[in-house]
Amino acid sequence: MIHRSSLAAIVAAAGIVATLTGCSMSSDGAPSSTETIKIGLLTDLSGAAGIFGPPTQNAAELAVEEINAAGGVNGQQLELLVADETGVPTAGVSAAQRLIQEDGIAALFGQHNSATRDAVAPVTSDAGLAYFHTPLAEGNFCSANVISNGEVPAQQLAPAIPYLQTETGNNKWFLLGADYIWGQTVLADAEKYILASGGEVVGKELVPIGTTDFQSVITKIKQSGAQLIIPAIFGGDAITFEKQAFDAGVGNSAVQRLGVIYEDGTLGAMGAEVTDGMFVSMAYNEALDTDANAAFLKAYYAKFGDDAPPQSALSEQTYVAIHAWANAANKAKSTTSLDVLTALSGSTYDGPSGTVTFGPDHFATQSIVLTRVQPDGVSVVATTFDSVDAEQTCSEPMGK
């Protein structure tokens, strides 16, 4: 009998060990030495948002390579350490703790959802570390050591909603959101801007992250008589929803999409038939026709090959954050949070999508690009909105 129950224990133990080692960390290959300054990247390499991780890791590696080629930070080379936060806040916290305590990173860059940011921010604050939360998020987060350079709903929606109403001649909206702080804020903000521009909200729905069956939600949209929809759901959930909605006759030709996190990787996985005609409002798109973007993309695909995952606002913002941090650290001649963030406040960085201004409110004023997907699945720029303010009111000091 003993060996039977111990077999069960062994199987379970093997599984647990495998799970633990599954959340491993990888280094970017640069030789580890006391001469380098280490920075950490916390990103989603698995889970619902796992699709966003690989291009983000690439963008970060590219930024580090460029900074090192230009002389590094205060004469020292940068070394990038990447950890998977798997979409789980507790996993993000333990990964951040490892990066800080065992690897001694000088700054943390996080491309993950805001639940993880809320959990990780106290850890970086205790360590006196500058922490950049880079992807688009709901805003309204205020902590001395945290910079949120990702676009917020105010930036994505305030100019895009009236533009779309004029463009389509329609104004009946359905709002669909992932049921957590970001989705909830997008829905609340969207309602505010829709009402302000003379539109009407005919339906609202929050769905749990990881929803696999959208049938009833799709029926609700059908019944509401909506002409436009803001789907604030991401990654795998977004792809599942759009594929199911298309098959149920609620595709983009029936209800016009205004995506707020439908980056090109997500759209590509939905298929060209499904995405035809969708609008997306984010801070960056590869389709931007500027010299800065052309140079960025040339360097990106030269380094990672033509098959590399496409860049989107979610990954490009990490590139912007690392460059802006390095510039500020060079200007401050220091890497402590207080010095770097003081130097960062009010500074600008000219990134692939234009000028980004880092305000004393811990957020970034930046341009927003509204793209539309063509029948062949390729996004083209419909219009851009320059220097859009994040409308934030954080009054914490920059760095502590």
216 near other proteins, rule: CB under 8 A:
yes
The number of residues that bind other proteins (CB under 8 A) is 51
CA angle 252, 316, 92 (to 5 degrees): 95
Q: CB-wise, 192 or 243, nearer to other proteins? A: 243
Write down the least CB distance from residue 392 to other proteins, Å. Answer: 29
Among 66, 103, 167, 179, binds other proteins (CB under 8 A): 179
Instruction: At 159, give phi and psi (nearest 5°).
Output: -85, -30
- The nearer residue to other proteins, 3 or 69, going by C-beta atoms, is 3
Cβ–Cβ < 8 Å for 240, 271: no
**Alpha carbon distances (Å) from 166 to 17, 100, 160, 198:** 56, 49, 10, 11
Per the DSSP assignment, residues forming a β-bridge with 349 are 356
**Closest to 343 in 3D by CA, of 355, 351, 352, 331:** 331
User: Which residue stretches of the chain are H helix?
Assistant: 2-22, 53-69, 89-101, 114-126, 153-157, 160-168, 181-196, 215-224, 235-247, 264-270, 272-275, 291-304, 313-332, 337-344
**Whether the Cβ atoms of residue 124 and residue 146 lie closer than 8 Å to each other:** yes
Structure tokens at 45: 């390499």
Residue range at the interface with other proteins (CB under 8 A); choices 2-10, 113-121, 278-286, 383-391: 2-10
Question: Closest CB to other proteins among 208 and 305?
Answer: 208
Determine the Cα angle at 17 with ends 11 and 22, to 5°: 125
Q: In angstroms, what is the minimal distance from the CB of 212 to other proteins? A: 5
Q: Considering only residues 61, 138, 205, 263, which one is a binding residue for other proteins as defined by CB under 8 A?
A: 205
Q: How far is the CB of 261 from other proteins (least distance, A)?
A: 15
> What is the contact mask toward other proteins in residues 40 to 69, using x (rule: CB under 8 A)?
-----xxxx-xx--x---------------
∠ CA 126-42-108, rounded to 5°: 40
Among 35, 102, 247, 350, which residue interacts with other proteins (rule: CB under 8 A)? 247
The only residue of 35, 126, 200, 213 in contact with other proteins, by rule CB under 8 A? 213
Q: Is 348 in the site for other proteins (CB under 8 A)?
A: no
CB of 321 to other proteins, least distance (A): 23
253 is a contact residue toward other proteins (CB under 8 A): no
Segments in 337-379 forming alpha helices (H): 337-344
Q: Does 364 interact with other proteins (rule: CB under 8 A)?
A: no
* By CB under 8 A, residue 195 contacts other proteins: no
From 192, 185, 136, 167, select the one nearest 258 (Cα to Cα). Answer: 167
How far, in Å, CA of 189 to CA of 394, rounded? 18
Please report whether residue 271 would count as binding other proteins according to CB under 8 A: yes
- Answer yes or no whether residue 88 interacts with other proteins by CB under 8 A: no
Stretch that binds other proteins, among 235-243, 286-294, 319-327, 392-400 (CB under 8 A): 235-243
- Should residue 106 be labelled a site residue for other proteins when binding is judged by CB under 8 A? no
Minimum distance between the CB of residue 19 and other proteins, rounded to whole angstroms? 6
Helix axes 313-332 and 337-344, enclosed angle (nearest 10): 110
The contact set with other proteins (CB under 8 A) reads 1, 4-5, 7-9, 11-16, 18-19, 22, 45-48, 50-51, 54, 179, 205-208, 210-213, 215-217, 219-220, 222-223, 235-236, 239-240, 243-244, 246-249, 269, 271, 273
